């Protein structure tokens, strides 16, 4: 076992645990944000750098700090390690820079993006980014791509987290898409169209942290915060059949996997459950689903997301807060 201190919280975890996993076991606001790591996908992480932390003491045997900030999702703990996340101004400053990089080519078309309201990039920028932008150059642009009848790819919004690549790699028999090229021309390959034949391909919508992969059966139908999520299940021969139904009145607008407090699906679901079962009679409804991750859906506003700042309801705001 290794005893590790993260932002003054001490926890004992098995050797081989990453700093991020240890922080998640402690929970709360000391957990670093993640845009590419996904606990259900083997090998994920190490791409986005949002989970950077400072290792102020490498281990009990070697009390020296690590020379650079490290990605907490891919750095294992050591006995006696001391880690700083929100207690390190250096980390908070670096995270601002990471957000700025992630947004360099991002269209920020949130008003017309189906991910708005449940978008990890929106939340990350709101909590860790700057209000303004220094970027004046032209953003790269790609045409949107239809990936079969159910999924739309907006490469403009992709942050190249590789989660969809890992999902198809690990859930289907053959992976036929990936990231082509490198640097600022890197893109999710158009061969992604071929991956839709698989019954589990719809899961790439759930794992995508942004609005790059969206559900065509739900596109532009409603903003997510107008919908009410319900836990439901059905006897499915292909997957667990445990889902969240997103309803407006009695109508089921979309079906997704259930997500945990870190916004990661608990179990991957099949395309039949996701796209074909939109009648109430298809499901046994268990009751309202709780959305644990901080979001406009769980709170219906952004009031508590920004630590230490209180945003008053619109009617009570002063001019300075508008």
CA angle 267, 269, 274 (to 5 degrees): 140
Question: Residues 92, 94, 99, 101: what is their CA dihedral angle, to the nearest 10 degrees?
Answer: 170
The entry of ligand SF4, ligand FES, none that residue 211 binds, CB within 5 to 8 Å by partner kind: ligand SF4
- Contact between 115 and ligand FES per CB under 6 A: no
Nearest approach in angstroms of CB 120 to ligand SF4 is: 8
Residues 161-200 contacting ligand SF4, CB under 6 A: 161-164, 188
Element (H, E) at 251: strand 251-257
Question: Is residue 57 within 8 Å of 81, Cβ to Cβ?
Answer: yes
Question: Is residue 35 within 8 Å of 120, Cβ to Cβ?
Answer: yes
- Contact between 35 and ligand FES per CB under 6 A: yes
Per rule CB under 6 A, count of chain residues that contact ligand SF4: 26
Nearest approach in angstroms of CB 242 to ligand SF4 is: 22
Element (H, E) at 100: helix 89-103
Question: Is residue 99 within 8 Å of 128, Cβ to Cβ?
Answer: yes
Residues 70-89 contacting ligand FES, CB under 6 A: 71, 73
* Per-residue contact string for residues 141-170; x = within reach of ligand FES by CB under 6 A: ------------------------------
The C-alpha atoms of residue 264 and residue 242 are separated, in whole angstroms, by 14
- Contact between 38 and ligand FES per CB under 6 A: no
* Per-residue contact string for residues 42-71; x = within reach of ligand FES by CB under 6 A: ---xxxxxxx-------------------x
The entry of ligand FES, ligand SF4, none that residue 46 binds, CB within 5 to 8 Å by partner kind: ligand FES
CA angle 190, 102, 255 (to 5 degrees): 60
Q: What share of the chain is helix, strand, coil (3-state, %, to 5)?
A: 30, 20, 50
CA angle 308, 310, 134 (to 5 degrees): 75
The entry of ligand FES, ligand SF4, none that residue 98 binds, CB within 5 to 8 Å by partner kind: none
Nearest approach in angstroms of CB 72 to ligand FES is: 6
- Tokens in use for 28? 């709360």
Q: Which of 6, 51, 208, 265 binds ligand SF4 (CB under 6 A)?
A: 208
- Tokens in use for 279? 């009648």
Residues that bind ligand FES (CB under 6 A): 34-37, 45-51, 71, 73
Residues that bind ligand SF4 (CB under 6 A): 106, 108-110, 113, 115-116, 119, 121-122, 157-164, 188, 207-213
């Amino acid at each position: 076992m290794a005893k590790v201190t993260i932002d003054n919280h001490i926890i004992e975890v098995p050797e081989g645990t990453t700093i991020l996993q240890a922080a998640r076991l402690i929970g709360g606001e000391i957990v670093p944000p993640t845009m590419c790591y996904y606990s259900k996908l083997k090998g994920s992480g190490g791409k986005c750098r949002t989970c950077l932390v400072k290792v102020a003491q490498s281990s009990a045997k070697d009390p020296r700090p690590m020379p650079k900030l490290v990605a907490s999702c891919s750095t294992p703990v050591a006995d006696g390690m001391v880690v700083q996340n929100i207690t390190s101004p250096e980390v908070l400053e670096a995270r601002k820079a990471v957000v700025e990089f992630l947004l360099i080519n991002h269209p920020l078309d949130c008003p017309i993006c189906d991910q708005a309201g449940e978008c990890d990039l929106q939340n990350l920028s709101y909590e860790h980014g700057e209000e303004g932008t220094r970027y004046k150059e032209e953003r790269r642009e790609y045409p949107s791509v239809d990936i079969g009848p159910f999924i739309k790819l907006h490469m403009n919004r992709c942050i190249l987290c590789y989660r969809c690549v890992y999902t198809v790699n690990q859930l289907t028999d053959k992976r036929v898409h990936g990231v082509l090229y490198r640097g600022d021309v890197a893109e999710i390959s158009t061969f992604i169209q071929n991956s839709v034949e698989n019954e589990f391909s719809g899961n790439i919508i759930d794992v995508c942290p942004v609005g790059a992969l969206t559900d065509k059966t739900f596109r532009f139908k409603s903003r997510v915060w107008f919908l009410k999520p319900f836990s439901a299940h059905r006897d499915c021969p292909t997957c667990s059949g445990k889902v969240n139904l997103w309803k407006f009145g009695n109508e089921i607008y979309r079906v997704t996997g259930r997500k945990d407090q870190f916004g990661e699906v608990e179990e991957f679901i099949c395309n039949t459950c996701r796209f074909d079962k939109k009648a109430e009679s298809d499901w046994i409804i268990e009751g309202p689903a709780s959305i644990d991750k901080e979001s406009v859906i769980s709170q219906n506003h952004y009031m508590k997301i920004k630590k230490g700042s209180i945003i008053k309801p619109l009617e009570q705001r002063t001019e300075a807060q508008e």
